[in-house]
Every structure is written in structure tokens, then in C-alpha cells.
Amino acid sequence: MNALRVLGLCMSYGPVPVFDGINLAVPDGTLLALLGPSGCGKSTLLQLIAGFQRPSAGEIWAGDECLSGPHVLVPTERRGISMVFQNYAVWPHMTVAENVAFGLKVQRLASSDLRQKLARALEMVRLESLRDRYPAELSGGQQQRVALARALAVEPKILALDEPLSNLDANLREEMRFEIRRVHDLLGITTLYVTHDQSEALVTADRIAVMRAGALMQLGTPKDLFEHPANSFVASFIGNNNVIAGKLEERGRVRVGPSSLIGIDTSGAPTGASVAFCVRPSRVRIDPEPDIPVNVLRGTVLRSAYLGESRDLLIEVDKVARIRAAVPASREFVTGQQVTVHLPVESCLIVNSSET
């Protein structure tokens, strides 16, 4: 059963389309991350699902209830979708408890019921001790936990998180990622999580929808995306990757400049098509033992940067491609040094080019 379905959703600001016919299905109890660079339309999609804006076409369904369609626009407050915002949006004129209880008061619960649900929500995000504080007296992370408790207290059908961690500093962000995942595992509420940070998505989400320029690029588990990117955009967006443009010579073989490279072909593209050849920097090997028959290139070191844990090399090969390689920090390289580069076949992927 899908908790949420989006069918052919279109949105435009004046003549400029934000997206054009998006389809998406979120199974019950899933934590789905909407991942993409800024301006890809992921936040707008969330706004449409929450009902803050009216789509120009398409439908949004929650279970078997139509939330938004050609003749229907259920207002936000009747959608059962709670939201957590990037800027917390904790009401500054109310205490922590008042913030969290607000939604329950709107529901006109009996006071014993209300107290119980309030206590449970505060406990869930571990804010019992701060219940009478005002938001100005809380840290950013605490404010975001208030926002989370407030959204959860009303027991929503769907929880929407719009870049919830972007305003937090790095340490807190890491901590809150696990916090969000923990709460999700506890309650199992279907959750939409908008973020531009791939590591955030990889840690928290069951499934990730990668978006770009208003289009859905790929929907899958974090492992799927990392290991089997659908196209060159996903390949380059998830994790570090060398993405080299080339032409498909035959299945599993790509022509890049004067070289012919071999990899695992997931593109399904016809011979002669533009494809992308991908290999992660950590898999690239420099100056390997001799006698390797394929995917060995000569190159020049353009830049060598010491990163402590490793060394980051930028190598120009065959004057047509630049390849990054992560090598042990102990190995020394100088700019201009001639090296041999080996791209192990089992680590190389051939995918469709997302450039059109």
C-alpha cells in the first residue's frame, strides 16, 4: 500500500516550469529522501504535497484520498501531513510545551489525553526537562527537536522534513540524522525528507529519489544508487566519482579519446551512443604491477593534495580526460610526474549520459 502517490504533477511560476509531470509513490512506513541540488524543485514538491501551493496540473493522493487534483484542493490543515522546517519555525511566543501542545489543542482533545500525548512527544525527543523554556533560550538543535516533537505529537499520516538539518552546525547535524532515523524506526510514520546533502540521505533514508531540474532521475535504495546509478548525474551526485564522457563502441566498451575502456555496462544504450564511464577515485590505482592487459592509461599529475587520511591526485590522461584518484597519503607525487593509471574493470560502470 502506498501512503502517498504523486501523479503527473506539474508546477510552474508564470511561464517557467518548475517541474513537468512528476510521478512518485511512497510505500507505507518508508522514509523517502528527496535529494537534489538546490533549485531542482524538491522543496516545491514538498510544498505542493503539504498543500501550501496549488499545482498547475496533476494529482496527489494520500492512501485512497485525493489531496490535490483538477477539482480538489484539500487545505493543509486537513491533509494529516506534519512538517518540520529548515528554519525550525518554532513559535517564539510559546514555551516548548505550548509549541508541542498546539496541534493537540486544535484537535480539542480531552485534557488528560492531551497531557499524555504531550508527555510522550516530549519524551520521544528527550525534551521533558526543557518543557517550560522559551525558544530563545534553546540551542538550534533543541529548537529543531521541538519542531520534530510538535510535528509528531499530532500523529500525522505523513511527516515532511524540509532540509531540517541545514541550519545546524556539523556535529549536531550528524547527531540529529541518527535522531530522526531513531524516531522513524520507533513510530514507522511515512516520512518525506528533503535534503541536498547526499550523506544525510544515505544515512537516514530507506529509499532516495534523486531529482534534477524538476525531473526524477532515479528512485532506489541508497545501495542501488551508489552501486547502480541510472545515469551520469546520479553517478556524479552520489559519492565522489570520475564521470568520463565517451561513445559506446560495443556493449561494455567505451571510446574515450584514443583509448578504449572496458567496464560493466548498465546503460543498455545502442552502439555509438554517448555514454558515461564512471569509476570512483578510491578504486583508481596508480603505477600498478605490469602486465595488466586493459584499462591502463598514461597520465600526468596536475595536482597532488595531502588530505591527511589520503592523498587526492588529479591526473590528466591522453589529453582528453581528467581523473581523480585517492591514494594512500604516504605516497609522494609531484606535479608534472608521469604515472600509469589503472581502472580495474570490476569497479568501472558504463551508464547513460544524463546530458541531452
Partner 1 sequence: MSVGPVIARRAPVAGIADPLLDSVRLNPVRAIAVAIVIVSLLLLVLRPLGYIAYNSLHDDLSGSWTLANYGRILSSTTLLRPILNSLVLGLAIAATSVFFGVPMAWLVARTNMPAREWVKALTLTAFVTPTFIGALAWIMIAAPNSGWVNLIWRNLTGASWPVLDIYSMGGAIFVGAIYAVPFAFTIVAAALDEMAVELEDAATTLSSGTLRTMLRITLPLAAPAIYASFILSFIQGVTLFGVPAFLLTPVRISVVTTKLAEFYQAFPPEVFLAAAYCVPLLGLTAILFYVRKRLLGRKQFVVISGKARGSRRIDIGRWRWPALAISLFVPLVAVILPYATLIAISLSKAWGLGLRPDNLTLDWYAYALFRNSQTRTAIVNSLVYAGGSATLCILLGAITAYIVERRLFRGAAWLGGLASAPIVIPGIVLSVGFFAAYTQPPLRLYGTAAILIAAFTATFLPIAYAHAGTLLKGISRDLERAARAVGAGEARTFVSITFPLMRVGLLSGWLLVFIPVTRELSVAIFLVTPSTNVMATLIYNFQDGGNYEAVCALSVVLLIVTFMVVLGTRYVSTRLSSPRAQSLLQGSAT
61 binds partner 1, rule: CB under 8 A: yes
> Could you give the CA distance from residue 284 to residue 281 in angstroms, rounded to a whole number?
5
Element (H, E) at 4: strand 2-13
Q: How many Å is the maximal CA-CA distance in the chain? A: 78
- Count of helix runs (H) and strand runs (E) in the chain: 8, 22
Which one of residues 39, 72, 186, 247 is an interface residue with partner 1 (CB under 8 A)? Answer: 72
Instruction: Take residue 171 and report the three cell numbers written for it.
Output: 556535529
User: Site for partner 1 (CB under 8 A): which residue of 117, 131, 145, 150?
Assistant: 150
Go through the chain and tell me how many residues it has.
356
Please report whether residue 128 would count as binding partner 1 according to CB under 8 A: no
Size of the site for partner 1 (CB under 8 A): 55
81 forms part of the interface with partner 1 (CB under 8 A): yes
Q: Which of 9, 45, 83, 130 binds partner 1 (CB under 8 A)?
A: 83
Q: Is 139 in the site for partner 1 (CB under 8 A)?
A: no
Site for partner 1 in 19-58 (CB under 8 A): 23-25, 27, 50-52
Stretch that binds partner 1, among 116-124, 146-154, 176-184, 235-243 (CB under 8 A): 146-154
243 binds partner 1 (CB under 8 A): no
DSSP for 218-237, written as a single string: EEE-HHHHHHS-SBHHHHHH
Decide: is 114 part of the binding site for partner 1 (CB under 8 A). no
Q: Mind giving me the DSSP string for 20-59?
A: EEEEEEEETT-EEEEE--TTSSHHHHHHHHHTSS--SEEE
Residue from the set 66, 119, 264, 302 that interacts with partner 1 by CB under 8 A: 66
Nearer to partner 1, 233 or 333 (CB): 233
Q: What is the 3-state secondary structure (H, E, C) of 82-115?
A: EEEECCECCCCCCCHHHHHHHHHHHCCCCHHHHH
In the complex, what is the shortest distance from the CB of residue 132 to partner 1, in angstroms, rounded to a whole number?
A: 11
Residue 87 as a binder of partner 1 (CB under 8 A): the answer is yes
Hey, which residues does 7 pair with through a beta bridge?
59
Question: Could you say which of 5, 253, 283, 324 contacts partner 1 (CB under 8 A)?
Answer: 5
Q: Which DSSP string corresponds to 252-315?
A: TEEEETTEEEE-EE---PPTT-EEEEEE-GGG-EES--S---SSEEEEEEEEEEE-SSEEEEEE
| CA 198/CA 21 separation, integer angstroms | 24
Which of these segments, 122-130, 131-139, 320-328, 346-354, binds partner 1 (CB under 8 A)? 131-139
Residue 43 φ then ψ, to 5°: -70, -40
* Least CB distance to partner 1 at residue 26 (A): 9
Query: Among positive and negative, which fits the CA dihedral 117, 119, 122, 123?
Result: negative
Dihedral pair phi/psi, residue 187, rounded to 5°:
-105, -25
Q: Among residues 89, 114, 119, 172, which is the contact residue for partner 1, using CB under 8 A?
A: 89
Asked if 147 interacts with partner 1 (CB under 8 A), we say yes
* CA–CA separation, 287 and 295 (whole Å): 13
Q: Which of 13, 37, 39, 65 binds partner 1 (CB under 8 A)?
A: 65
The nearer residue to partner 1, 5 or 285, going by C-beta atoms, is 5
206-235 footprint of partner 1 as x/- string (CB under 8 A): ----------x-xx----------------
Residues that bind partner 1 in the complex, under the rule CB under 8 A: 2, 5, 7, 23-25, 27, 50-52, 59, 61, 64-66, 69-73, 75-78, 81-83, 85-93, 102-103, 106-107, 134-137, 143, 147, 150-151, 153-154, 156, 160, 216, 218-219
